[in-house]
Amino acid sequence: MDGNGRWAKRRLLPRVAGHRKGVEALRGVIRGCGERGITHLTVFAFSSENWRRPQEEVTLLMELFMRALESEVAKLHENHIRFRVIGDLSGFSERIQTLIRDAETLTRHNTRLTFTVAANYGGRWDVVQAVKQLLAQGATAADITEAALARHLSLADEPEPDLFIRTGGEQRISNFLMWQLAYTELYFTDALWPDFDAKTLDAAIASYRSRERRFGRTSEQVQTAS
Ligand code: IPE
Ligand code: MG
């Protein structure tokens, strides 16, 4: 979700106004995914590198995160949405950690849409913590297979993503779900995150639909199989 700051700057507003508008955009995208039958949505809200931002902005982002947890979780639950957070939660305040745990427990049996927030998350961190878990279980070199490692990643129980969307004009993964994105279709848009709406979502989905996913096979093999 990139471009909140620029959205605000263009309007001569403080960056936090862009982040607030970004929360609104996210609400719309969650609704849009539900309406379109999408079963998994994972958003990158705060990377392990975002702590490097000015202290004031980090504090405001944490407040926004906390307020969103306080006010939105009941609505997610009403709409049968399962809520999860992935990342190193120890970086957050006790209050935020409690809100996250309570929200995950409350919504854990919901199946309409699994909505995951990556917070204090990094794709490299995820791989490293998976290896650490394996080693803690006494794994040897022979036990460290792709499948074993994948079972210990943060999104282990979820399908690999079909579509990755990055807003804000940058064409980078920026340490998001690196392992899981190996075969994901990548979509980059200049739209700033606060402007991302049903129309931009549909454009991304239309682009996804126009692609042929071969997973290493030839086009002829794929067409015969379908
Ligand atoms: C993304 O918007 C939101 C977070 C990383 C929290 P930015 O804050 O990166 O917005 P730009 O890139 O400065 O426009
Ligand atoms: Mg940015």
Report pLDDT digits (tens) over 80-110: 999 999 999 999 999 999 999 999 999 999 9
- Split at pLDDT 50, 70, 90, the class of 62 is very high
pLDDT of residue 119: 97
The whole-number average pLDDT for the span 136-157 is 96
The protein residue whose alpha carbon is closest to atom 5 in ligand 1 is: 46
The whole-number average pLDDT for the span 194-220 is 95
The whole-number average pLDDT for the span 185-189 is 98
C-alpha of residue 217 to centroid of ligand 1, in Å: 37
The dihedral of CA 122, 126, 131, 137: what is its sign?
positive
Active site residues: 2, 50
Question: Residue 9 CA: which ligand 1 atom is closest?
Answer: 14
Name the closest ligand to CA 9.
1
How would you classify residue 92: left for phi > 0, otherwise alpha for psi between -120 and 50, otherwise beta? Answer: beta
Spell out which residues line ligand 1, taking CB within 6 angstroms: 1-6, 46, 50, 61, 168, 193
- Split at pLDDT 50, 70, 90, the class of 213 is confident
Question: Residue 170 CA: which ligand 1 atom is closest?
Answer: 12
Contact assessment for residue 113 and residue 41, using Cβ atoms and an 8 Å cutoff:
yes
C-alpha of residue 20 to centroid of ligand 1, in Å: 11
pLDDT of residue 226: 84
What's phi and psi for 42, nearest 5 deg?
-125, 125
Pick from 71-75, 189-193, 201-205, 210-214: least confident = 210-214
The whole-number average pLDDT for the span 4-18 is 98
Round to whole Å and give the CA distance between 193 and 3. 5
pLDDT of residue 131: 97
**Which residue among 1, 2, 61 has the greatest number of ligand 1 atoms within 8 angstroms of its CB, and so is best to mutate?**
2
Contact assessment for residue 191 and residue 3, using Cβ atoms and an 8 Å cutoff:
yes
The domains of the chain, with CATH numbers, are: 4-225 (3.40.1180.10)
Number of H helices, E strands in the chain: 8, 5
The reply to whether the predicted model has a pTM over 0.75 is yes
